[in-house]
Chain A
Amino acid sequence: EGVRSDGYLDRLNQIADVKDLTNLGLDAIVDEGKEPLWEDANGTGAAFKGTMKKRETDDFKISFAYYPGCLGNNEVPANRSSGAYIFRPNSTKAIGLNVESVSEISGDLLSEVRTKIRGNVLSIKRVYKEFDFIEHEWLVGPISVDDGIGKEYVVKYQTDIINNGEFYTDSNGRQMLKRKLNARPQWNLTLTEPVPGNYYPVTNEIYIENGERFTVLTDRSQGGTSLVEGEVELMLHRRLLHDDAFGVGEALNETVLGSGLVVRGKHRILRSKDPVEIAKSVFQMHLPPVVFVSDASGLSYEQW
């Protein structure tokens, strides 16, 4: 309470001081001020860093970015628009989104860091006292298209793992398959679309490893890749203004009350290498407990 500042350095110092207030296994969510809590230089996007007391290696950054959609007349593949069927950004570099504000909550059951990010993005990094995983809840949208450009939003998890361009995604919920950047196992590959050509379906799980392992479980099917060493990238939301001429005949531009849709979901981040623990977590993500709420007016505790 009362810790506020307009200065960047002041902010870092204060956050370092505040770490003792967290009473969970979450070790301050910041790392004693040795690294910037967030960074917005070079347009690489906003990030914050987290460490957990239980596992010193739980150290990664989360940032958000978007790919501007391609616009073309669809007459030849080179003029294909990004649309419902086709992910075709007009740039190989995603545009980073900066942090607007950060807040922190700590209590008896959970601690979380809420990061408000430019472009209608909210990122909540959450640690439960009882659970070993880190939960990343994201809320994206409505995506603004006032500039006439369709956008495809992604989240990036940046780690120190040297994965040599290799990452693993599940095969429609069955076995995990190894994916290699700019490569296919059966033929020599020349990619005309360097970003989408490296995107793969993620029904449940995507991970990178090299000694240690960084796994992200999704709560729904998403597209995922690892374009940069140590990074896992997942697409969260899209709003596009042009049809891609693959049959739907409409742009992927859904609205509610005139504004774009808001999507809200969760990723579960695991550092475990135990296949049983990971498999159980996958099931728990997809078959969570069913919760019924019923009015109990007139029913006392004793009667219950």
Chain B
Amino acid sequence: EFILNELKSAMGIMQHHDAITGTEKQHVAHDYERILSTAIDDALLVARQAFNKAAQGDSGKAPLFSYDRCHFNESRCHTSETSETFMVTVYNPLAWGVREAVKLPVTYGHYEVYAPNGDKIVTQLVEIPDEVKRIPNRRSEATHELVFIAHLHPLGVKSFYVKRVSTTKRAIANGSYLEWISG
């Protein structure tokens, strides 16, 4: 509870009109980033414990999964970029069913994604634009985004299994790439 209170407290501070609009001094902006970032990192502890508890049941075994913080706004995620197999857990906070595109930063390769019922689902590998790769201070090996559509129940959680199959196959990115370069 005290960990979640830290995030609640940080979110309270972020309601200030300067934090919302960005009219604070620069050093205050950096302080807001520090407060919020620390609170989010700490709150992930709770998510890790909750998911491991759900995954293990009463077996009492050591934790199976670690949940790292992904930076989807920069198309980077250490786990999906470096792991041969990883799990994607998606929670729908809305009270109605939604379909949403999930995009996972990955390195070039061939991937298979399995839905909770065990079926392999359709995916598409889309190259990350150079402009994103050049974002200052972005540290990532990701070259592509693996896209699939998640069908989510109201307030539901679904788990997808992703497996990297090959790294050498040519023409893995399914889809046509056409480029025109201006004179």
Contact = CB atoms under 8 A, between A and B. Distances in A.
Verify that A and B bind, or say they do not.
yes
6 contacts: A105-B176, A110-B101, A283-B94, A291-B102, A294-B88, A299-B64
A259 interface: yes
A4 B179 contact: yes
Interface of B: 20-26, 29, 47, 51, 64-68, 70, 72-74, 77, 79-80, 83-94, 96, 98-102, 104, 114, 118, 122-127, 129, 131-132, 135-137, 147-150, 152, 159, 161-163, 173-183
A252 B25 CA distance: 9
A109 B68 contact: no
The winner among B80, B86, B149, B175 for most chain A CB atoms within 10 A is B175
A69 to B, nearest CB: 15
A156 B45 CA distance: 43
A21 B180 contact: no
B24 A248 contact: yes
Contacts, number: 194
A124 B114 CA distance: 28
Nearest to B132: A139
Interface in A81-100: 84-85, 99-100
Contacts of B123: 108-109
A4 B183 CA distance: 10
Given A100-B182, A107-B175, A254-B29, A293 B77 contact: yes
A105 B145 CA distance: 13
Contacts of B92: 289
B66 A103 contact: no
Given A101-B181, A130-B99, A250-B25, A114 B129 contact: yes
A142 interface: yes
Given A139-B132, A296-B161, A301-B161, A109 B77 contact: no
Contacts of A5: 180
A289 B83 contact: no
A122 B131 contact: yes
